Amino acid sequence: MTIQRRIPLAKALSDVDTRQREISEYIDRNKDRFVEKLRILCQQPSVSAQNLGMTEAAQLVERFLKETGFTTESFSPTHGPPIIFGELLSKRGSKTLLVYNHYDVQPVEPVDLWTHPPFSAAVEDGRIYARGASDNKGNIVSRLMAIDACQKAGGDVPCHIKWVIEGEEEIGSPHFAEFIAKYKGRLSGESAIWEFGGLDYDDRPLVTLGLKGMLYVEFKVQTALKDSHSARAAVVENPAWRLVRMLDTIQDEDGRILIEGWYDDVKPFTPEELEVIRSMPLEEHSIRDELGIKSFLYGLTGFEFKKAFYGNPTANIAGIWSGYTGPGHKTVLPSVARAKMDFRLVPDQDPARLAGKLKQHLARHGFEDIEVSLQAENPAARTPISSPIAKMAARAGKEVFHKEPVTLVTSAASGPMHYFTNTLRLPTVAIGCNHPRSNTHAPDENQRIDVFVQGAKWIAIVIEDFAKSLE
């Protein structure tokens, strides 16, 4: 018969408080070192859309993981930049936490709108300015700081950590399925932390439980072998006009997508999710002020605004171009017109099926000649509100930021989270060190240093609580 000693509750709580204090103090003492690591990572370009600096960035990320104690592997897809897989094993814990991030960034254009060079990682007014400083390199290094602190405060991490850092998230993760297929047997665990997260406009911690899906396509209309003089516009079809007429069949003036069967599989919010959405603080004024707009589409406000933002499928024209767009004027009849669209999807919508419906729609409306190129597709992902990791993240966020956390049923953004929630069956939360004025995907992207540091403390407490709660 084995007799287990019970540790007095007061002693256990005291040990927890001591360890968390040691973690927090370690992070405060070492923040300058990790700020410099972030600057080094940001100074390395890694623009996946342009295949710029990808191998070098992957090598730098792998080096940082090794310096923090991880054993690493670099997986090279058939086509595409390396995916870094790191493992850090615990001697005292048996549970496994997975972490996902990406080291690729968006293109920097338009460069002339940046206050600082995009890869200079300039520090000004408590912020680091660089492409990728917030999305997603700030979160990578903040998590490195958290994990390093957990090790130094207790001599070991309290649970096993498996970390996946890819290089194509910004272009739709086209080769991530290849990685999942090869590594699926090694990606077992109990929960996961997703790549982003942080604070809202009032510096309240956000706990995000899902992502919308996405279908990204490019259309090409070609009506002649070459451009010609615009005098021929009376007798030769202009591809830009044909493209515009096609686009007009996709969505009506009220924002409803007109592609037949588009809403057939939409999964509505549960009553519990709707209650959480109803109770979420409104940020309408902050968003309007940031964007300089007077109102939202269709007069949306209040609860209806939140339901639409988080729950409606969308059809967005991301870019459209044809003919001459340089300075001055040029009288030309273009031969080709193109447009890019991203369709945001909700749970149970299958992007592959919807791509088929889109092509059928074009044929039905007489646009079968228009070329459709599928650029990216991801189903939506969602973790239940009742998930233990969601509750842990909220409790830890309140402890670090001293404000009531805000739980988001889903983000309106997209990404390959479904591989974790749907394929690996891992409850997944998005928490981190972002801020809504980080200018992600825009000029002057930046990372607030104070949130970078506090975000590390948030992650560290979640790691500690995760290990204890499952013992």
Does 3 map to a domain? no
DSSP state at residue 79: S
Q: What is the mean pLDDT of the chain?
A: 95
Helical ranges in 124-222 per DSSP H: 137-154, 176-183
Last residue of a domain, one of 378, 395, 420: 378
Q: Which of 347, 378, 409 is the last residue of a domain?
A: 378
**Coil, helix or strand at residue 434:** strand
Q: What is the CATH number of the domain that holds 450?
A: 3.40.630.10
Give a yes or no: residue 5 inside a domain: no
Query: 78 and 181 share a domain?
Result: yes
Backbone angles phi, psi at 156, to 5 degrees: -170, 155
**Domain carrying residue 115:** 10-209+383-469
pLDDT, residue 4, reads: 44
H or E segment to which residue 128 belongs: strand 127-129
Residues 176 and 86 in one domain: yes
Q: Do the domain assignments include residue 435?
A: yes
| Parallel/antiparallel/unpaired status of strands 205-208 and 406-408 | parallel
pLDDT at 8: 53
In this prediction, residue 183 carries a pLDDT of 96
Residue range 178-190: average pLDDT? 96
User: Residue 16 — very low, low, confident or very high, per pLDDT cuts 50/70/90?
Assistant: low
Is the pLDDT score of 10 beyond 60? no
Q: pLDDT by residue (tens digit) across 316-375?
A: 999 999 999 999 999 999 999 999 999 999 999 999 999 999 999 999 999 999 999 999
pLDDT reading at 13 higher than 80: no
Same domain, 203 and 93: yes
CB atoms closer than 10 angstroms to residue 21: 11
Confidence of residue 37 (pLDDT cuts 50, 70, 90): very high
What does R_g of the chain's alpha carbons equal in angstroms?
24
Burial profile 338-353: b = 16 or more Cβ within 10 angstroms, e = fewer: bbbbbbbbbbebbbee
Element (H, E) at 228: strand 228-229
- Phi, then psi, of 371 in degrees rounded to 5: -80, 130
Q: Are residues 341 and 447 in the same domain?
A: no
- Residue 30 domain-assigned (yes or no): yes
- The answer to whether residue 342 sits within a structural domain is yes
Residues 333 and 436 in one domain: no
117-143 pLDDT tens trace? 999 999 999 999 999 999 999 999 999
pLDDT tens sequence across 209-254: 999 999 999 999 999 999 999 999 999 999 999 999 999 999 999 9
Q: Count helices and strands (H / E) in the chain.
A: 12, 20
CA angle 81, 181, 103 (to 5 degrees): 30
Mean pLDDT (whole number) for 65-91: 97
pTM: 0.87
Please say which residue of 346, 378, 410 terminates a domain.
378
2 lies in some domain: no
Q: What is the reported pLDDT for 393?
A: 98
Q: Looking at the structure, do residues 341 and 255 belong to the same domain, yes or no?
A: yes
Per-residue b or e along 150-180, where b marks 16 or more CB atoms closer than 10 Å to that residue's CB = bbebbebbbbbbbbbbbbbbbbbbbbbebbb
pLDDT computed for residue 17 by the predictor: 78
In this predicted structure, what is the pLDDT of residue 470?
55
pLDDT at 40 > cutoff 80: yes
**Each residue's pLDDT tens digit, 421-431:** 999 999 999 99
- Which amino acid would we find at residue 28? D
- Mean pLDDT (whole number) for 193-214: 96
Average pLDDT rounded to a whole number, residues 276-300: 91
pLDDT in tens, 369-401: 999 999 989 999 999 999 999 999 999 999 999
Shared domain check, 148 and 43: yes
Question: What share of the chain has pLDDT > 70, as a percent?
Answer: 96
What pLDDT score does 469 carry? 80
Query: Are 422 and 435 in a shared domain?
Result: yes
Domain with residue 248: its CATH number is 3.30.70.360
Asked if residue 418 and residue 360 are part of one domain, the reply reads: no
Q: How confident is the model at residue 1 (pLDDT cuts 50, 70, 90)?
A: very low
Domain count of the chain?
Answer: 2
Q: Please report, to the nearest 10 degrees, the dihedral formed by the alpha carbons of residues 447, 453, 457, 460 taken in order.
A: 70
Q: Give 382 or 4, the one with higher predicted confidence.
A: 382
- 189 and 217, same domain (yes or no): no
In a domain, 1, yes or no: no
Q: Any residues with CB less than 8 A from the CB of 62 and at least 6 apart, and which?
A: 72, 74, 82, 84, 86
- Residue 9 is predicted with a pLDDT of 45
The predicted-structure confidence for 145-171, as pLDDT tens digits, reads as follows 999 999 998 889 999 999 999 999 999
- Residue 241 belongs to some domain of the structure: yes
219 and 305 part of one domain? yes
Statement to judge: residues 169 and 29 lie in one domain:
yes
